[in-house]
Amino acid sequence: MMAAVEPSVIDPTLRDQLDIVIPTIRNLDFLEMWRPFFENYHLIIVQDGDPTKVIKVPEGFDYELYNRNDINRILGPKASCISFKDSACRCFGFMVSKKKYIYTIDDDCFVAKDPSGNDINALEQHIKNLLSPSTPFFYNTLYDPYREGADFVRGYPFSMREGAPTAVSHGLWLNIPDYDAPTQLVKPSERNKRYVDAVMTIPKGSLFPMCGMNLGFNKDLIGPAMYFGLMGDGQPIGRYDDMWAGWCVKVICDHLGLGVKTGLPYIWHSKASNPFVNLKKEYKGIFWQEEIIPFFQQVVLPKEALTVEQCYLELSKQVKEKLSTIDPYFTKLSEAMVTWIEAWGELNAPDKAGADMGPSKVGKKLAAASA
């Protein structure tokens, strides 16, 4: 494993401080299109499904790959908190990364073009979002005040102009929008063609549907809350992994005074998933969320909860207490939240050497660096 690098001057590309996490079940040909933007970064590939399948990674990428056997070996009994046969498994990659920043992207996402026809460097925009403050406490009508050519408008309190540290950068999607199964069924041919040239801070107190397709975050600030829950194999629900993480992340960011941004960058989302399959996965979520969201809108975390871990454990208690009445699944989920934090603590302890943490497969650049 590469050690985290803390340069005295921040490299604005974050080349040594950011990992790209990709959950997948197939060969990663999509990386060819991303080569100019990703080739200098380290990839963490989380292989879902059959661990004996060989995933091909295009040559020249610096990566480590973990399959289910690796996850079981590294986490032991705590591997139960990592979903199987669902892209929720990506959060294992967040856990094993040793970097300060994470960017995660789905393998059906390609490079989008801006209105001038130029390729969008999504990662560069996420880094800009993460390295500049957010404005969760008051709305700026000209959007991101830290962007070139913009500022705070008249009436924006000066004491709030330093903003808040940015924990999350949520990017969007051109082409196939991230719709639920009912909307997919009703509007099978709707495509997102609107490029909105803005980055917004989601105000304090407001929840949002966080999508994991194109997502950056600061692991030091919010990592332990980026748990994608229990989904897929053996679970009554799927396609709510990123939503769950987003609700938890947002209430904790609000409590700790951290910022969450959404908007730019866009990626090109190529494939609509099957709406019938999706409906089966998500139908329980569609009615559960009617109770889950009011729960998250009303959650109050105690003042004593000062770290993300403390907040998350408190949240797990309240989930057990208040959501278990919906379905026994939430008891299991609340316990998995605790297991996740325990596993996180083990892998992210400051002195962790990680003897048995090696991935199954590493790409050549990493191998060379480790030699």
Rounded-to-integer distance, Cα 135 and Cα 164, Å: 6
Mutual angle of helices 329-347 and 308-323, in 10-degree steps: 170
**Pick 131 or 207: Cβ nearer a copy of itself:** 207
Rounded-to-integer distance, Cα 227 and Cα 245, Å: 6
DSSP letter for 84, please. B
**Pick 66 or 103: Cβ nearer a copy of itself:** 103
Shortest Å, Cβ 300 to a copy of itself: 14
Which region, left, alpha or beta, applies to residue 117 given φ > 0 means left and ψ of -120 to 50 means alpha? left
Shortest Å, Cβ 205 to a copy of itself: 4
Shortest Å, Cβ 196 to a copy of itself: 4
**Pick 262 or 348: Cβ nearer a copy of itself:** 262
Residues 6+ apart with CB under 8 A from 28: 22, 45, 55, 56, 57, 58, 107
Shortest Å, Cβ 164 to a copy of itself: 14
Rounded-to-integer distance, Cα 228 and Cα 104, Å: 12
**Pick 207 or 326: Cβ nearer a copy of itself:** 207
Q: Counting Cβ atoms within 10 Å, is residue 155 exposed (0-12), middle (13-18) or buried (19+)?
A: exposed
Query: What b/e sequence results for 97-134 when a residue is b if at least 16 CB atoms lie within 10 Å of its CB, and e otherwise?
Result: bbbbbbbbbbbbbbbbeeeeeeebbbbebbbbbbbbbb
Strands 42-47 and 62-66: parallel
**Pick 274 or 307: Cβ nearer a copy of itself:** 274
**Pick 211 or 249: Cβ nearer a copy of itself:** 211
**Pick 76 or 205: Cβ nearer a copy of itself:** 205
Shortest Å, Cβ 98 to a copy of itself: 30
Shortest Å, Cβ 345 to a copy of itself: 29
Whether residue 11 contacts residue 100, with contact meaning beta carbons closer than 8 Å, is answered with: no
Shortest Å, Cβ 279 to a copy of itself: 12
Residues in contact with a copy of itself by CB under 8 A are 115, 138-143, 149-159, 170, 172, 177-180, 182-183, 187, 190-198, 200, 202-211, 239-240, 242-243, 246, 262, 282, 286, 289-290, 293
* DSSP per position, 146-179: TSTT--PPTT--GGGTT-B-EEEEEEEEEES---
**Pick 153 or 349: Cβ nearer a copy of itself:** 153
Q: Counting Cβ atoms within 10 Å, is residue 282 exposed (0-12), middle (13-18) or buried (19+)?
A: buried
Rounded-to-integer distance, Cα 322 and Cα 157, Å: 38
Shortest Å, Cβ 239 to a copy of itself: 7
